[in-house]
Amino acid sequence: MKAMFDGIKNIGNLGNILRHAFIFDTKEILLTENQAIFALSKLHKSSAGYVNKQKLVYLDDFQKYLKNYKGRKICPVPDKKAKNLFNFKFKENDLLIFGDERGVPDMIKKYADEFLYIPMSNKFPMMCLNLATAFSIIAFEQFKQKKSIRRWFWWM
């Protein structure tokens, strides 16, 4: 699986994303030309050094990349067509498409083949999760589907 992000503005979010992408075996993190330029030293700190371990690719033309991408393009948004994350079956060449901290713009949603939502308790009236948190939940679910996670945790 790969993941694309359009316009991340918070370096802490990007650092968390890079750590979890590495831990949960995401092949690449793709950043669009709309990204804020982060100081490498700050990104190294916010990612706990994983910026040097995770493949990070800057896209000059993300629309061309999305048009030509051969795998499924999956957009995690609350949408009537969205499928429950825990009933969704990931494939090796899936591409997750995220926006920035405010959500996924319509110009990116139009490229999606599938839509996902993360089921949440209705105890708190929150419509969305933090960008890095949402990515981490989805990355863990795809990792769980393709690996036997029992061997990864000492308490299991």
> What are the pLDDT digits (tens) for 127-139?
678 999 999 999 9
Listed residue (13, 27, 4) closest to 105, CA to CA: 4
Q: Which residue has the tokens 């996670």?
A: 149
Q: Which two tokens stand for residue 51?
A: 């910026």
Q: Name residue 74's beta-bridge partners.
A: 96, 114
Q: Selecting from 3.40.50.720, 3.40.1280.10, 3.40.50.2000, 1.10.540.10, what CATH number does the domain 2-152 have?
A: 3.40.1280.10
> Alpha carbon 73 to chain centroid distance?
12
> Average of pLDDT values for 111-135?
84
Q: Residue 21 in contact with residue 116, Cβ under 8 Å? A: no
Q: pLDDT tens, 25-79?
A: 999 999 987 665 666 677 778 888 888 888 888 898 999 999 999 999 999 987 7
Lowest-confidence segment of 67-71, 100-104, 123-127, 143-147 by average pLDDT: 123-127
